[in-house]
């Protein structure tokens, strides 16, 4: 009888939802800060007509194309280098393993902008580049801004991709390696048929992040005069002094490209995540 009375009393209690005062205060502060930022841009000395005018300016669009081309080429070369370095890192050959470790240490341990400047000024160390008796050319002619940026970005990216791929390979159960060895499968064959296909689920998402980062890292190539998006925007505002307007134009196109790539990355991650947890 007492149990039923207690149940009845509990049922008659008024439900009071918890009040998250911290959330309300945080939201209010963020809204105030957002309003202040919007007001600053609204009343600031910004030529909004100029922003729209330069949004599709020919040199801006050419810089956007150069940015995408550089990012795709550098990411493709960097991915190949990274896979090769990761395979060499896990190789039983001590020489290959040492070279792969040194490669990752060198290019991950120095700033990317420093690497770009070194490649652009490599003629100070090697005045002539070529193959003895077959072909040779002055380094200042060969090392154009495009090639210098491509080498710098690709080699730097390869060092980071090598760690991403190595992490994916380590995620594969050790039993898979042992099973391949037990049937006499060579190391490279086991990688190609067993290890790498299973590692793709772990490797693909961070590679997507790396590619998105590569789009933004191409802006560093402006220091060696490569005509990418930011460099072309700088050239325009050097002439007309519309600094903020041109920087906003560059920011807009970076956001557009990154947003499109982010949507593609989400779809790719879902594809490789099929069957997990079922």
Answer whether residue 187 shows pLDDT above 50.
Answer: yes
Of the pLDDT bands very low, low, confident and very high (cuts 50, 70, 90), residue 208 is confident
Mean pLDDT value of segment 249-259: 93
The CA dihedral of 87, 89, 92, 97, to the nearest 10 degrees, is 130
Answer whether residue 274 shows pLDDT above 50.
Answer: yes
According to the model, what pLDDT value does residue 278 have? 45
According to the model, what pLDDT value does residue 2 have? 52
The CA dihedral of 220, 224, 228, 229, to the nearest 10 degrees, is 60
- Other beta carbons within 10 angstroms of residue 165's beta carbon come to 26
Radius of gyration, alpha carbons of the chain: 27
Mean pLDDT value of segment 77-103: 90
- What is the full DSSP assignment across the chain? -HHHHHHHHHHTSPP-PPP-HHHHHHHHHHHHHHHHHHHHHHHSS--HHHHHHHHT-HHHHHHHHHHHHHHHHHHHHHHHHHHHHHHHHT-S-HHHHHHHHHHHHHHHHS-HHHHHHHHHTGGGT-SEEEETTTEEEEHHHH--HHHHHHHHHHHHHHHHHHHHHHHHHHHS-HHHHHHHHHTT--HHHHIIIIIHHHHHHHHHHHHHHHHHHHHHHGGGGGGGT---HHHHHHHHHHHH--HHHHHHHHHHHHHHHHHHHHHHHHHHHHHHTTTTT-
According to the model, what pLDDT value does residue 20 have? 77
- Beta-carbon contacts of 177 under 8 Å, excluding residues fewer than 6 positions away, are 190, 195
Of the pLDDT bands very low, low, confident and very high (cuts 50, 70, 90), residue 200 is confident
pLDDT digits (tens, 9 = 90+) for 19-56: 777 888 898 999 999 988 888 777 777 788 888 889 98
Tokens of 87: 């395979």
Answer whether residue 206 shows pLDDT above 60.
Answer: yes
- Pick the more confident residue, 173 or 231: 231
- Pick the more confident residue, 155 or 130: 155
Bridge partners of residue 130, in order along the sequence = 136
Mean pLDDT value of segment 149-170: 91
According to the model, what pLDDT value does residue 251 have? 93
122 touches 141 (CB < 8 A): no
For the chain, percent of residues with pLDDT exceeding 90: 43
According to the model, what pLDDT value does residue 14 have? 74
Please state the three-class secondary structure of 139-166 as a single string: HHHHCCHHHHHHHHHHHHHHHHHHHHHH
Answer whether residue 177 shows pLDDT above 70.
Answer: no
Q: Which domains does the chain have, with CATH numbers?
A: 56-272 (1.10.3720.10)
Residue 67 CA to residue 215 CA, distance in Å, equals 7
The greatest distance separating any two alpha carbons of the chain, rounded to the nearest whole angstrom, comes to 106
According to the model, what pLDDT value does residue 192 have? 74
CA 138 to chain CA centroid, nearest Å: 33
Answer whether residue 81 shows pLDDT above 90.
Answer: yes
């Amino acid at each position: 009888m007492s149990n039923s009375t207690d149940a009845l009393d509990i049922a008659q209690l008024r439900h009071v939802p918890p009040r998250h005062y911290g959330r309300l205060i945080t939201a209010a502060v963020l809204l105030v800060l957002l309003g202040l930022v919007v007001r600053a841009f609204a009343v600031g000395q910004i030529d909004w007509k100029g922003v729209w005018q330069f949004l599709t300016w020919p040199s801006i669009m050419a810089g956007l194309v150069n940015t995408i081309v550089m990012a795709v080429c550098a990411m493709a070369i960097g991915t190949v280098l990274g896979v090769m370095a990761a395979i060499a890192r896990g190789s039983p050959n001590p020489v290959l393993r040492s070279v792969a470790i040194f490669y990752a240490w060198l290019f991950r341990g120095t700033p990317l902008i420093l690497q770009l400047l070194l490649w652009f000024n490599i003629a100070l160390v090697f005045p002539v580049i070529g193959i003895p008796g077959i072909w040779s050319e002055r380094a200042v002619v060969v090392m154009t801004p495009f090639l210098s940026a491509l080498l710098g970005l690709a080699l730097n990216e390869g060092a980071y991709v090598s760690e991403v791929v190595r992490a994916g390979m380590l995620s594969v159960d050790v039993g898979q390696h042992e099973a391949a060895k037990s049937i006499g499968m060579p190391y490279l064959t086991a990688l190609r048929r067993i290890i790498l296909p299973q590692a793709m689920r772990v490797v693909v998402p961070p590679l997507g992040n790396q590619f998105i980062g590569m789009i933004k890292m191409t802006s560093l190539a402006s220091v060696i005069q490569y005509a990418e998006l930011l460099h072309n925007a700088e050239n325009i505002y050097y002439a007309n002094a519309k600094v903020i307007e041109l920087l906003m134009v560059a920011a807009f196109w970076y956001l557009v490209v990154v947003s499109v790539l982010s949507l593609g990355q989400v779809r790719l991650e879902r594809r490789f995540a099929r069957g997990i947890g079922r």
